[in-house]
Amino acid sequence: MIHATTRGGVYFVLAILVAGCAAGEAVRAPSSPGQPASPISVRIVRPDGAGPFPAVVWLHGCGGVVRGARHVDDWTRRLVRLGYVVAIPDSFSERGYPNGVCGNGGLVPALTRAGDAYTALRLLEARPDVVPERIGAIGFSHGGWTVLAALDQDVAARARAGAGAEHGFAAAIAYYPECSAGSWIPTYHTAAPLLILIGERDDWTPALPCERLAQRTRAQGQPVSLLVYPGAYHSFDSYAPVTLVPEARQGRGATIGGDARAREDSIKQVETFFGRYLR
């Protein structure tokens, strides 16, 4: 069944989806209130019960929600089991990249996706089953890069205002993000507690720039934490075998692959970190 409603000046189309066994709502909303011609789709999945619940905006990697469907579904299930409403904005399909941008992540830059993150936050904070002050963000690779952008104070102020969101993110986690690209990096100042998780052997988004960012921000008293997993590659939280992605880094290639120890520890880190700041 599909029906249309309006709420707060935003046009919604709600439908029941099935992704694996996880049912949710498909919400089509403008990427900002002033840009009705540039919509994005957001999938929202909630726990059973009346709530209200804390919530998490889940930001996909360079493969998007189509190529990364298994990854999306795995994490959605985990977070819903922990009691979070999960919102998953699709930043690529409506912009003409349904198969992702792994060959050139700059096609949909992190600043653009930061706006998507706050659009998803705006949708969540308007729901009666969500606690609006307890909304976090988690992103992976390109989505992790987006988390860094969305949590920078200056970027956050602009993106939040552009999306019409009343609240900011209460905490965020960036899995293997790009820590060296972005105009906000040299003067980075996080707007909320931030956890960065990355693999020591990551040759797509190397750990060293993230270590430098974490060291500098922590020295300034910012709530930034970093975990580097020994021997782990990019996408260490996946179940995929270690393999080469030829299209990565504009054709220079990079290695990805799951690492059981890193994956399981990182899942515990997510539970603990979000439990501390969102529960």
Does 170 fall in a domain? yes
- pLDDT(18) > 70: no
By residue range, what is the domain housing residue 196? 44-278
DSSP calls for 39-72:
EEEEEEE--SSS--EEEEEEE--TTHHHHTHHHH
192 lies in some domain: yes
Task: Give dist(CA 227, CA 198) in Å, integer.
Answer: 6
Give the other-Cβ count within 10 Å of 218's Cβ: 13
pLDDT in tens, 73-83: 999 999 999 99
| Helical H segments across 152-251, by residue range | 153-163, 207-219, 248-251
Kindly report the CATH number assigned to the domain that includes residue 95.
3.40.50.1820
Domain membership of residue 12 (yes or no) is: no
The stretch 228-246 carries a mean pLDDT of: 96
The residue assigned the tokens 């993106």 is: 159
pLDDT band at 38 (very low <50, low <70, confident <90, very high): low
Domain-located, residue 31: no
Q: Is the pTM of this model over 0.85?
A: yes
**Which residue's structure tokens are 């609240």?**
167
- Average pLDDT of 95-107? 93
Q: Are 232 and 201 in contact (CB under 8 A)?
A: yes
By the 8 A CB rule, do 19 and 97 touch? no
Q: Which backbone phi and psi does 56 adopt, to 5 degrees? A: -140, 130
Query: Counting Cβ atoms within 10 Å, is residue 60 exposed (0-12), middle (13-18) or buried (19+)?
Result: buried
pLDDT, mean over the chain: 89
Does residue 231 lie within any of the structural domains?
Answer: yes
pLDDT of 52 over the 80 cut? yes
Beta bridge mates, 6? 11
Assess if residue 118 is contained within a domain.
yes
- Where residue 247 falls among pLDDT bands split at 50, 70, 90? confident
Answer whether residue 7 shows pLDDT above 50: no
Average pLDDT of span 260-272: 98
Percentage of residues in the chain having pLDDT higher than 90:
81
pLDDT of residue 134: 98
Length in residues, the chain: 279
Residue 123 tokens read as 């949708």
pLDDT at 97 (0 to 100): 94
**2: confidence class by pLDDT, cuts 50, 70, 90:** very low
**Percentage of the chain modeled with pLDDT above 70:** 89
Pairing of strands 171-175, 194-199: parallel
Residue with tokens 């439990």: 275
| Residue 28 domain flag | no
Residue 17 lies in a domain: no
Q: Residue holding tokens 């075998």?
A: 241
Residue 21 banded pLDDT, cuts 50, 70, 90: very low
Q: What is the rounded CA–CA span in Å between residue 90 and residue 243?
A: 26
Residue 64's pLDDT is what? 94
φ/ψ of residue 166, rounded to 5: -85, -25
What are the backbone angles phi and psi of residue 117, rounded to the nearest 5°?
Answer: -60, -40
Span 164-205, pLDDT tens digits = 999 999 999 999 999 999 999 999 999 999 999 999 999 999
Domain count of the fold of the chain: 1
